[in-house]
Every structure is written in C-alpha cells, then in structure tokens.
Structure 1
Amino acid sequence: MLSLHEVEQQLNFWGWPANGSWELYLGNTHLTFNPKTLIMTWITMFLVILFGIAATRGMSLRKPKGAQNILEMIYEFIRGLVNDNMDPKKGAALMSIVVTYFIFILFSNLIGLVPTLSSPTADYNTTMGLALCTFVIIYIFGIRYKGLGYFKHYIQPFIPFLPIVIIEDFAKPITLTFRLYGNIYGGEVLIAVLLGLLGGWAHVFGGFIASVVWLAFSIFVGFIQAFIFTMLSIAYVGQAVADHH
C-alpha cells in the first residue's frame, strides 16, 4: 500500500515541479503560479472553444445534430432555470455568462478523469476566480436594474441587521468556492487513495484503473457540481434584480 504522496509522485507523468509552483520575481513583487492548474485551464478552454465551434459550424434549424443538439439542450435547460428565477428580459443578458459557466465547469470537472490529467476546479484558486466573477455580476445586475436603490437592502428593514446582511453577501463567493473545490478535489484524492491500495500497480496507464473504477460516480459529481454552481449563480443574481430583495 502506497501513501498519498507516493501515489502523486508516481502519477507525475508530466514532470510538474515538486513544490507544485513556479516562482516569479518582478522587482520586490513575488508571484507564485501553479503550472498544473494553469496548463489544465488552458487545455479546458481550448476544448470548450472546440466544442463551441463544432456546435455552431453548419448549424441547421431543420435537422440539428451532434454537438449542436447538445448545446441546444444545455441552452434550453439553463434558460428555463433563468426564467424561473427572474424576469426573462432581465435574464436574457445573463444567459451567455451562465451557459459558459456550466460548459467550462463541466469540462473542468471531467478532464480530471483522463489519466495523467487533473481538474482545474480541484484548485481553489480556480473556483475562487469563478465565485468572484459571480460576486461582481450580482452587483452589476443589481445596480443596472435598481440603481443605487439596490443598496437599500443593507439598511432595510432594520439597520441593526446590517452586519448580518454583509456577512450573507460575502458568504456567497466563499460557499461557491469551497463547495465546488471540495467536491472535485475530494474525488481526485479518492482516486489517489484507490491507487495507493493497488500498491505497485498505481502508475499503470497513468492511474487508468482507479479512474475507471471511480468513473461513473465522478461523471455524476462533475455534472451535479457544474449544475449547482450555475444554479446558485442564477439564484443570487435573481435575488439582486427581484422587485423585493
């Protein structure tokens, strides 16, 4: 039986830095980058672009097929969620954002199932970036449709509730961050634990054996977490633009 650290070393097919980061100094500024997360994010972005091209090239209204069918199903499903949470006219401006959310997060979650690769969403920096985007979008939409009146919810119905409302607002990106990160990272750790139980077979095919054992459940979790993040983002924006916040 191998330890988690030993399994990670055996699976380091691409030779990621032992300390897990690149160090960059710009004058007195020290920057740290996680090369694995960066490269996996770029790969995911490339795959999303390919999917978008495949789904929109040669689109047909009469006989949609292949990737176009998948994209239309995703779009219609998410549009239903948006329309259930806010006025369709207000939600129209949000559609492109949340559809992109769902596709990117789904691809990010599932790419970690490919042997030797990992999910960008298994790094809390990625999930925090997505959560902060949602946090900013909430205020953009709130101010867009309510003006400065959006901030009335901080003092109504009672000013003494102000600390609670502030905590509630700042808790949104935190919960979004760690819910997605925890589930995806936990799945990858469990795969490593399964590989550790295999002992000397851990590195075979880049961990393919454990990936297959855990494949079905991981796909389910990947879809569910992409849905939850997208759904909560829609709900939060819906609250911001509602007539009664």
Structure 2
Amino acid sequence: MAAFPKIFAGTLWQTNLTVIGTILFTGLVVFIVLRLALARMDMRSPRGLQNLVEWAADFTSNMARETMPTEQSVRFIMPLAFTMLFFLFVANWLGLIMTVAVHFHPSVASVWGISPAELESAKGEVVLFDSPTSNMSMTLGLAVMVWLISHARGLRHPKQWLKHFYSPSPLAVIEEITNPLTHGMRLYGNIFAGEALLGIMLNAPFALHWIPWQTPLVVLWLLYSGFVATIQAYVFSILMCLYVGNKSFEGNAHH
C-alpha cells in the first residue's frame, strides 16, 4: 500500500494532500473544458467540445427526468447532476491516464507528514498524483454530501419527510444509514481495485528479463477499467438523482 503526503498527521484533521491536489486539478480540467466549449457557441452548427457538452447536458436531463418526481425537482437537480457526472468522469480516469509517485529509502525519517513506519510499509513509495476517487474519504464525503442535500430537500415538507422513515416499514431507517455507505463504497471499490491491479501488472517482472508479457493484459485491463470508470460516474450520478428524488415531495409526489 502506497503512502501519501499529508498535513496535520496523527490528528483528527489529518488531510491527504494528494487527494486535495487532484480534486482541485479535476475541477480545473472541468472548468477549462466547459469554458472552451462555451467560448464560441454556435447555435446553428455546433461542433467539437460544444457538441460534447450539449450531449452531456441532454443525457443528464434525461437521467434526471427518469428519477425525479416533478419538473421542479428536475430543475433543482440538473446543475448538480451535470457537474457531478462531468467531475466524476474526469476524476475516475485520472489514475488510468497517469500516476506519479516518488520513492524514498524506507529508513528515511518522517517526510511530508509520513512516519518512518508508514514509509516502510509502503516500501518507500509516496504517491503524488492519482484518481481522487480511489480514496475512500473522498467518495464517502461525496456520498454524505448527497445524503445531506436529499434530507435538506425533504425537510421542506416535514410531514412527508417524517412519514417516509416508517413507510413502507420501519426498516427504512436502516436504509438511510446504509445508502450513503454503499453509495460511496461502490465508487471507491471499483476505482481503487482497477488501479491497484493495473499497478500490479505494470510492476510485474519481464519474462526472461526482457519480454513484456503483461503488455496485452495491461491494454485489455486499461480498456475495461476505462469502461468501469465511465459507468461508475453514471451510477453515482443517477443514484444521487434517485436519492434526492425520493425526498422531493412537491405536490405530494413521491418515488
């Protein structure tokens, strides 16, 4: 297991600097792509990035209408769903495109908030660039954010919000606890597992010390992992729409 640079190490506020950096980098990529797509909008003959963004917006709109109970709730969720879908697509692909790590001798004293024991456990490998969604704290943080948004929306109609906890059964309370856990863990598990196995393949020794026997497997796994990364961006986003839609009680509509 690799180590990561951090601040406030050993405290409640311990922060993974690699995750923070890649989150900001992902946001910057999304911002630049959207800015370039909208810079020269052509309503008559859209092309290039504008076509891509318009397709993503239509896709998100259809996804929201399939899961939200009313047009009002669709308008509410659309900006967040579109941003989430785009953000997660980029974030999930980062570790497949490039991973940056530096190596220290395990005997080196504490470096970048990493203790000698952690460095030794990671065999001196410190990751500086990776998919932010391969970190459990990141994905669970997103899931908790969705959970808070859904309940905040439900609280606009307190009676229906309270009723949904015991309808159709009191087990709905347990579901409210497990939903954010499975929501975040599903994304983390798929992205982390894909990148971990890819790393094992890349570090496998060559046959006869010169034949890169793992190359076909790496290519196949990259294609499969790219497919999974794309699907998981969609799965997380549509579940977000579903969870918020289940607590949107406009006009007594309830999914």
> Percent of counterpart pairs with the same letter?
29
Partner of 2:36: 54
Rounded to whole Å, the distance in 2 between the matches of 1:189 and 1:231 is: 26
Give, in whole Å, the separation in 2 of the partners of 1:57 and 1:41: 24
Pick aligned residue for 2:152 from 128, 131, 140: 140
TM-score normalized by the length of structure 1: 0.80
Aligned CA RMSD, in angstroms, stands at: 2.6
SS for the counterpart of 1:31 is coil
Alignment partner, residue 101 of structure 1: 84
- Larger deviation, residues 38-47 vs 92-101: 38-47
The DSSP-based 3-state class of the residue aligned with 2:247 is helix
1:183 matches 2:183: no
Q: Distance in 2 between matches of 1:190 and 1:234?
A: 31
Q: Tell me the SS of whatever aligns to 2:14.
A: strand
Counterpart in the other structure of 2:164: 153
**Matched position secondary structure for 1:64:** coil
- Mapped to 2, the partners of 1:114 and 1:231 lie a distance apart of 25
| Greater alpha carbon shift after TM alignment, 98-107 vs 116-125 | 116-125
In structure 1, stretches of 5+ residues that fail to align are: 9-18
Q: CA deviation at 1:68?
A: 1.1
- Which amino acid is the alignment partner of residue 139 of structure 1? H
The CA deviation string for residues 140-167 of structure 1, in whole angstroms up to 9 with x for no partner, is 22223x244321122445xxx43x2211
What TM-score, normalized to structure 2?
Answer: 0.77
Instruction: Could you tell me which runs of 5 or more consecutive residues in structure 2 were left unpaired when the two chains were aligned.
Output: 100-128
CA shift at 1:172, angstroms? 1.0
Distance 1:244 1:213 in 2: 43
Letter paired with 1:102: L
Corresponding residue for residue 20 of structure 1: 4
Kindly provide the CA deviation profile for residues 191-220 of structure 1, in whole angstroms up to 9, marking residues without a partner as x.
11102323599xx9xxx9976453211210
More moved, 190-199 vs 179-188: 190-199
Q: Is the 8 A contact 1:82 1:88 kept in 2?
A: no
Q: Following TM superposition, by how much is the alpha carbon of 1:30 offset from its aligned partner in structure 2, in angstroms?
A: 5.0
Corresponding residue number in structure 2 for 1:13: none
**Structure 1 residue 69, shift from structure 2 partner:** 0.8
Return the alpha-carbon distance in structure 2 between the equivalents of residues 62 and 90 of structure 1.
Answer: 30
Contact preservation (8 Å) 1:108, 1:119: yes
- CA drift of 1:53 comes to 0.4
Runs of 4+ aligned residues of structure 1 deviating over 3 Å after TM superposition are 198-201, 208-213
1:116-127 equivalences in 2 (<5 Å): 116=99, 117-127=129-139
1:165-176 correspondence runs (5 A) = 165-176=172-183
Write the letter of the residue equivalent to 1:123: N
Considering fraction of residues, name the structure with more helix. Answer: 1
C-alpha distance in 2 between matches for 1:179 and 1:30: 25
Corresponding position: 1:90 with 2:102: no
Distance 1:236 1:34 in 2: 29
The one-letter code sitting in structure 2 at the alignment partner of 1:107 is V
